[in-house]
Amino acid sequence: MGVMVWSEIDVQSARQVQVTVPDRTSLLDDLGQHMAQGRGFALATLNLDHVVKLRQSPDFRLAYLAQSHVTADGNPIVWLCRLAGQRVALIPGSELIMPLAEVAAAQRVPVALVGSTQNTLALAAQRLKQRIPGLEVVLQLAPPMGFDPTGAGADAVIAAIDNSGAGLCFLALGAPKQEMLAARAYAALPGVGFVSIGAGLDFIAGHQRRAPRLVRMLAAEWLWRLAGNPRRLAARYGACLWALPGLTVKAIRVRG
């Protein structure tokens, strides 16, 4: 798979961060084959906030370039890809947890949950196992506050994943920590699949509420989140809106 888009360029390697996944069906088929064959992967979900962070952080950009799969997580990314002449589907990370867990259960692949809080992990694991018969959750690990995905703590997390026997690991650390840990862990454990899911486990545990379906259909989920936490999100979404016109011009130029 390889969908060329308008995205940010890594100056040193002259490589681009790309959306590599055209649609959900092909993604699940491909990751299912990886798990069946004992091949690992690292999946990141690109949104507009990540694009802003990619411009600011060389380490984040390198982590993204190390991912084997990148989906479009956010309607602005889908629209920009389409402006650039590439048809891609919206695939949020939180919506991949259940179907990938179902694939793991069917193939008897043990699952690890890393990130968030211990309480959230325990409740999410309980609910996942209730909904998916046969699912084996072999690790629930919440790194401490201040966790550094490039430090010794990351090595301990990777060792715990390895020792657990997990073949699929959901990372709920938020960007850029989860993508940076995924890149490092994927290199160390090439037989394990790593999926960065942000607040996905909090949704399953019920500790955070996702926007209603109608709001998501209207592409207004960001407004829902902003209304719920304006102090934390106002600056982030302001930076995203500021970047959008320039990205739109880039996308049109790519197509032209």
112 φ, ψ to 5°?
-115, 145
Instruction: Average the pLDDT over 19-25 and give the result.
Output: 94
> Which distant-in-sequence residues (6+ apart) come within 8 Å of 213 by Cβ?
none
pLDDT at 44 over 80: yes
pLDDT tens-digit profile of 146-171?
Answer: 999 999 999 999 999 999 999 999 99
pLDDT value for 79: 92
**Do 240 and 248 contact (CB within 8 A), yes or no?**
no
Structure tokens at 48: 């507009």
Instruction: Average the pLDDT over 84-99 and give the result.
Output: 94
pLDDT at 256 over 80: no
pLDDT at 12 over 50: no
pLDDT tens-digit profile of 77-91?
Answer: 999 999 988 899 999
- pTM of the predicted structure, to 2 decimals: 0.90
pLDDT at 13 over 50: no
Alpha carbon 128 to its chain centroid, in Å, reads 18
List % helix, strand, coil for the chain (3-state, nearest 5). Answer: 55, 15, 35
What integer best gives the mean pLDDT of the chain?
89
pLDDT at 37 over 80: yes
pLDDT tens-digit profile of 201-251?
Answer: 999 998 877 666 765 665 667 666 656 777 776 787 788 888 888 888 888
